Structure 1
């Protein structure tokens, strides 16, 4: 047996081998050491031919799925070696064979992958300075691809990987550029398992790939054909099953989608928050009102890759508005969608032969809800709803098969039986009847034989001889020819008949027969359904789109969102916009809305100054998120808006370092800025926060100013630029395309209150000490900081004459931070005050003045 194990293990050196021995999967040698550590299993040993015992551990085969899932999620591959014959009938060693290998990118076990997340496996190929990438979700049957020049792969491919985050990656024809991608995977997506693929020179992988997809789709993917073919070949080999359900092929089309790099997705918290990478506190969390797992997965894709074509966006907006404006339609749509399970993944398990009885019931209930959904969609006026309705089918043939074949409440696992409905198979019904009514059958047979033969007899049973007719010697008459003597007793004879023998065989093997026949019938039902899988996949994908539109409509209704207008004038104009995430989680106070105008005429770059914690970063993120929402087809939190679709959103926000690659915070900042300046266009939106903060004041200020000038001269992107370098507000005097904005602050002596309002103008200082005071630094420290600041300001004026704002700018800044005393004086009607009221008013002004000066 150990020799057989080692021969099998040689076929899967990079996988943990689950070797079937009776009712257990056993692991030996290094696999046992690894599995016992990762799964907390007891490590034992057994004789293996050497002096030392072989390390060994195991898990029950009927509960192996949970253990396999845990290993795969840790990045291991698991090879399943099954017994290929009945051990009771085998002569010598039982024949065993690897029936499949489960890897992080090909796992299809139920609940192994989060229901609203995709699980991608990818392939990377480099050929003649062209890099091709293909990504596939085996659980849903979809495949996407892209090609680029190898020289720019470090940007293009890495952006794709950051969005799709594959759990497994294979590669072929390794070159220098692939090496850099592998390094990225090790450092950034460490949970991704990487495998080299042994490409066969005599195999036409492109031809293999063409067999899975429609010719029109594959013709567009010819450049990536070999890469797609290699990926399909690998998946087919490890799964050891039919994978014809993988039939959706789409390009990663940057011409039809807004491109989001990894940094921007992270900074804006679109689908993962910056704290722990979780879902809470993200835009997806706010907008996801989907009822189905299929819709939840698609909504994530919509947010990670919004649209750029106005016509496409309007189609979604019309559908969302149609659902939003009809309360009854929205409620009926919810009721219909609520009964639909994740049958996109159920279809995959049917195709690969791993579907459970519960999957069949879920598919049947899903199909039962589709007619109700189509009735709701029949009432939709929006063009997109009509298109989706035409692509949703009820699949009555499959529904009838499932209704006739599967019980309403079947057993959990097929091997335990109780799955096939009564009346589906006459053979199964007979076996069940024999098993359940054997006593009644024997009584009936006994009475028939007495009447037929005229002999007084009785039916008996022993474990040794089985069933028999017993006839005493006193009642012996002419025994019919079909009675065969089985045993002679002192006072009686025992006989067997063909009918009784047949019954004996049936009743003694009924349970085993039932299980075997049920499994056979279940497999037949599964096979019948496989012919309908492509059509049902189209239905599932269309239902997912309906669910996404429903979700956006519900979010708009619940959060008071409005439909943004769209324009081709490269103008972003938002009135009283609100940040959807912060607004959702803000409990103690109301969110302060703000306006924004960006265009290529006189608002191309907005320089935003003001103290820390005042809301500059929130404001800029808000603009980016609202633009992204609009391009995804969502309504947005604002009073009104007109937005031009942008081709890319770039963000440079926050401070972080990269310990693994040895890059400091400032280096990371500069790399991100370099990436932005390299890829941004005049149709992009740039969110730049505190450029230059990681180095000395003069160095940082110089870089910040140079970045603004470079954007104005070479890129012409719509730009929001927040900075603590209030000296930069002077740049607005030199260019009409720059406008200064600041965060309004109410100042009382050495204390400030953030008003969260973005207003025209520039701040004349950064209010760092005020924020430090709010943070609770010791008073003695703050007083010393005041002294140091005054000294630095007194001796630093002459150092930066070219960057300091012009004297004319000071009144603008002063007007933004006026004393409350002056504010009251400006707004009081002195002529209407009585003498007593005037004295009282003067007294209150004096108290305010004392507070502001620190005298009180």
Structure 2
């Protein structure tokens, strides 16, 4: 057996081998050491031919899915080696072979992949200077592709990797370029498993892939054809099953979608927050009211790749508005969608042979409500909803098959039976009847034989002779010819008849035959459904789109969003806009709305000044998020808005470094700025926050001013530029396209209050010390900072020499009256806002401080 194991292991050296032995999957040698560590299994040993025992651990085969899922999520690949014959019937060693391999990108287990998130496996291939990439979600049947010149790989490819986050990547013919890809994955997608694909130069991978997809879709993928074919070849080989359900091919087309690079998606918190990478506090979290997992996955893709063509956006807006205006239709749609399961992934499990009885029940219940959904949408007025309704099919043949074939509450696993409905198979009904009613059948047979022969008899059973008719010697009537003597006793003879023998065979093997027949019938049902999979996938995708439109409508209705108008004048005009994420999570105060105007005439660049924490970044992110929402087809949180679709949104916000690659905060900032200036166009929206702050003041200010000048002269993008360098407000005097805006602040002595309003004009200072005071820095430190600031301003920024602190002789009255901590505290408190108890407590503490300062006990 160990020799057989070693021969199988040779075929999968880079995988953990689950080797079937009876009721367990066993692992040996290094696989056992790894699995015991990662799965917290008990490590044992087994004789392997040498003096020392072979390391060994195992898991029950009926619960192996859970363990496989945990290993795959840790980045391991698992090979399943099954027994290919019944051990009871095998002569010698049971034959075994690898039936499938499960990898991070090909896992289809029910709970292994997040329901509202895609799980992509990617492929990279370089040919004649063109780099191609294919991405596939085997759980849904989708395939995406893109290509670019290898020289711009870092700009295009890395953005795609960051957005789609493949869990597994294969590559071929990449050469030295793969080193850069590996370095990127190491620092940004560490969980991605990377494997080299052994491409055969004699195989036409493009031609192999052609049959999977509609001809018109595949025709566009000329350069990427080989890459797509390699990925299909790899997935088919790993899964060891038919993968014809992969039939949707889509180009990652920057001409038809708004491109939001990875950094901007992160800064704007579109689908992942910046704190822990989760979805709480993201735009997706705010807008996701989807009722199905299919809709949830699609909405995420809509947010990551919004539309760019006004006609496409308008169609979505019309559908969203239809739902918003018709509450009954919206509620009825929710009631139906809530009863639809993730049958897009169920169809994949049907195709790959891993479907469970519970899956088929879920598919049946989903198909049952599609007619109701069609009835609801029949009353819609939006063209897109009518189009989607026409694409919904009821699949009556499949629904009827599932109703006839599968019980209402079947067993959890097919191997335990109890799945096929009574009446579906006469043969199965008979076996079940025999197993359940064997005693009644025997009584009925006994009475029938007594009546037929006129002989008194009884039916008996022994383990040695089986079932028999016992006739005593007192019965003198002739015994029929079809009675075969089986045993002679002192007072009686025992006989068997063909009918009794047939019953004996059936009853003694009924349980085994029943399970085998149920398994066969379940497989027949699965194969009959396979022919309908492409049509049902189209229905599932239509349902996902309906769910997304419903979700956007619910968010609009619940949060008081309005429909923005679309224009072709390169203008963004929003009145009383609100940040959709912040206003949802703001608990103690109302969100302050703000206006924005951007155009190429007199508002091309807005220079925004004001203190930290006043709302500059929020305002700029808000503009970007509202534009993105509008191009998704969503309504926006504003009083009104008119938006011209932009081709790209770029953001440079926040401070972060990259420790893994040794890049400082300032270097990261400059690289992001470089990327933006290289790719932005006059149709882009730029959000630039605090450019130049990671270096010295004059260096930073110089860079900031030069960036604004470059944007004004070469790019002409609509730009929001926030800065602490209030000296930059003078640039508005030199160009009519630059406008100054600032955050309204209310000053009161050395304290300030943020009003959160963006108003025309520029700030004449940065309010840094005011913000430091709000943060609670020691008052003595702030006073020293005031002195340093005053000297710096007098000296034009020249450094101030440090002075030794002067220690005046202590006075019997303590510190000077007008600079003591007691006076500072007294001046800082708002007496009119204090309660009597707070005033007494404050006075008590003040007196205590005064006594300590004067030395009085």
5+ long unaligned stretches in structure 1: 800-856
Report the counterpart of residue 315 of structure 1 in structure 2.
Answer: 315
State the distance in 2 between where 1:176 and 1:162 align: 21
Report the counterpart of residue 167 of structure 2 in structure 1.
Answer: 167
Is 2:694–2:700's contact at 8 Å kept on the other side of the alignment? yes
Report the counterpart of residue 608 of structure 2 in structure 1.
Answer: 608
State the distance in 2 between where 1:559 and 1:506 align: 66
State the distance in 2 between where 1:190 and 1:158 align: 14
Report the counterpart of residue 751 of structure 1 in structure 2.
Answer: 751
Q: 1:478, CA displacement in angstroms?
A: 1.8
Is 2:575–2:638's contact at 8 Å kept on the other side of the alignment? yes
State the distance in 2 between where 1:475 and 1:440 align: 25
Report the counterpart of residue 197 of structure 2 in structure 1.
Answer: 197
State the distance in 1 between where 2:472 and 2:407 align: 47
* Residue-by-residue CA offset, 1:11-48 (whole Å, 9 max, x unaligned): 11111000000000000000000000000000000010
Report the counterpart of residue 95 of structure 1 in structure 2.
Answer: 95
The within-5 A match list for 1:574-653 is: 574-653=574-653
Q: After superposing the two structures, state which structure 1 stretch, 68-77 or 495-504, moved more.
A: 495-504
Report the counterpart of residue 78 of structure 1 in structure 2.
Answer: 78
State the distance in 1 between where 2:401 and 2:27 align: 41
Q: 1:182, CA displacement in angstroms?
A: 2.1
Q: 1:491, CA displacement in angstroms?
A: 2.3
The within-5 A match list for 1:451-470 is: 451-470=451-470
SS of structure 1 residue aligned to 2:796:
helix
SS of structure 1 residue aligned to 2:33:
helix
Q: 1:201, CA displacement in angstroms?
A: 2.1
The within-5 A match list for 1:761-776 is: 761-776=761-776
SS of structure 1 residue aligned to 2:628:
helix
* Residue-by-residue CA offset, 1:426-462 (whole Å, 9 max, x unaligned): 0000001111111100000011111111111111112
Report the counterpart of residue 846 of structure 2 in structure 1.
Answer: none
State the distance in 1 between where 2:99 and 2:432 align: 32
- Alignment of 1:533 with 2:533, yes or no, is yes
Report the counterpart of residue 370 of structure 1 in structure 2.
Answer: 370
State the distance in 2 between where 1:302 and 1:334 align: 20
Q: 1:476, CA displacement in angstroms?
A: 5.0
Is 2:792–2:798's contact at 8 Å kept on the other side of the alignment? no
Q: 1:223, CA displacement in angstroms?
A: 1.1
Report the counterpart of residue 278 of structure 1 in structure 2.
Answer: 278
RMSD of aligned C-alpha atoms? Answer: 0.9
Report the counterpart of residue 499 of structure 1 in structure 2.
Answer: 499
Q: 1:178, CA displacement in angstroms?
A: 2.8
Q: 1:798, CA displacement in angstroms?
A: 8.7
SS of structure 2 residue aligned to 1:607:
strand
Report the counterpart of residue 238 of structure 1 in structure 2.
Answer: 238
The within-5 A match list for 1:282-681 is: 282-681=282-681
SS of structure 2 residue aligned to 1:754:
strand
Q: 1:484, CA displacement in angstroms?
A: 1.5
SS of structure 2 residue aligned to 1:673:
helix
Is 1:24–1:60's contact at 8 Å kept on the other side of the alignment? yes
SS of structure 2 residue aligned to 1:272:
coil
SS of structure 2 residue aligned to 1:48:
coil
State the distance in 1 between where 2:659 and 2:643 align: 39
State the distance in 2 between where 1:707 and 1:489 align: 111
Is 2:563–2:635's contact at 8 Å kept on the other side of the alignment? yes
- Alignment of 1:26 with 2:32, yes or no, is no
State the distance in 1 between where 2:182 and 2:370 align: 44
SS of structure 2 residue aligned to 1:475:
coil
SS of structure 1 residue aligned to 2:228:
helix
Q: 1:794, CA displacement in angstroms?
A: 1.3
Is 2:567–2:642's contact at 8 Å kept on the other side of the alignment? yes
Is 1:126–1:178's contact at 8 Å kept on the other side of the alignment? no
* Residue-by-residue CA offset, 1:61-117 (whole Å, 9 max, x unaligned): 000000000000000000000000000010111000100000000000001101000
Is 1:603–1:738's contact at 8 Å kept on the other side of the alignment? yes
Is 1:124–1:178's contact at 8 Å kept on the other side of the alignment? no
* Residue-by-residue CA offset, 1:177-205 (whole Å, 9 max, x unaligned): 23212221121111110000001122110
SS of structure 2 residue aligned to 1:10:
helix
Q: How does the TM-score come out when normalised to structure 1?
A: 0.93
Q: After superposing the two structures, state which structure 1 stretch, 75-84 or 790-799, moved more.
A: 790-799
Is 1:151–1:177's contact at 8 Å kept on the other side of the alignment? no
State the distance in 1 between where 2:148 and 2:559 align: 41
Q: After superposing the two structures, state which structure 1 stretch, 665-674 or 175-184, moved more.
A: 175-184
Q: 1:174, CA displacement in angstroms?
A: 2.1
Q: After superposing the two structures, state which structure 1 stretch, 777-786 or 488-497, moved more.
A: 488-497
Q: 1:797, CA displacement in angstroms?
A: 6.1
State the distance in 2 between where 1:110 and 1:293 align: 13
Moved >6 Å (runs of 4+): none
Is 1:450–1:457's contact at 8 Å kept on the other side of the alignment? yes
State the distance in 1 between where 2:55 and 2:202 align: 41
State the distance in 2 between where 1:513 and 1:230 align: 43
Q: 1:413, CA displacement in angstroms?
A: 0.7
SS of structure 2 residue aligned to 1:758:
strand
Report the counterpart of residue 740 of structure 1 in structure 2.
Answer: 740
Report the counterpart of residue 825 of structure 2 in structure 1.
Answer: none
SS of structure 1 residue aligned to 2:789:
helix
How many residue pairs end up in the alignment?
799
